[in-house]
Amino acid sequence: MSAPGVSLLGYRVWEVAATPSGAGPYALRSPWQMTLWHAAVRDADALPTPSNAHGIYALTRYAHAPHEWPWITIVRGAVRLSGTVVEHEDGTLRAERAEVAALGLVSRRGDLWAMPQDPMPYSLVTLRMGEPTPGMRRVNLSPGALLEALCATYGVEPLHEWPWATGAMS
């Protein structure tokens, strides 16, 4: 566990939520907790300890390379972790607080599509090459413009370095 007041850098991925039509404003959404990040700073629901699973998750630069993310996950980024931070042997971090530090796209290739999340009041934006699945709507925005909008929303710069080989994620 880290000492209070220490800040660590971690890396994570998000999905992008939008209005039901797929228009902005755009928000980051955790793919695992389905939680919207309405602001650049997010606090955990409960204090992480070595004996529980609470906290905001991220990976260290030295963690195992992340597996291929679900196809809808299109944003990766760096977060500053603070408060109580628990580090696991595999490089997974769980923090009391996380602040978005930089954002990037998993890929800048393909078209953006909105996928309604009924009964939720938003759609998820996905980056696809080829034909969409039924019910999806084309988002009239380039991947680069989406990244600019997200960076403006969270007050951060684009992510220029991803700590793992880009491979399929570039």
pLDDT of residue 71: 62
**119-156 burial by CB neighbour count: b if 16+ within 10 A, else e?**
eeebbbbbbbeeeeeeebbebebebeebbebbbebbeb
pLDDT of residue 165: 56
Question: Which sequence spans correspond to the domains of the chain?
Answer: 8-154
pTM of the model: 0.87
With contact defined as beta carbons under 8 Å apart, do 48 and 96 qualify? yes
- Taking every pair of C-alpha atoms in the chain, what is the biggest distance, in angstroms? 50
pLDDT per position as a tens digit, 64-78: 766 666 567 789 999
Per run of 10 residues, the mean pLDDT along the chain (length 170 residues) is 72 92 92 90 96 94 68 86 94 95 88 88 86 85 94 94 59
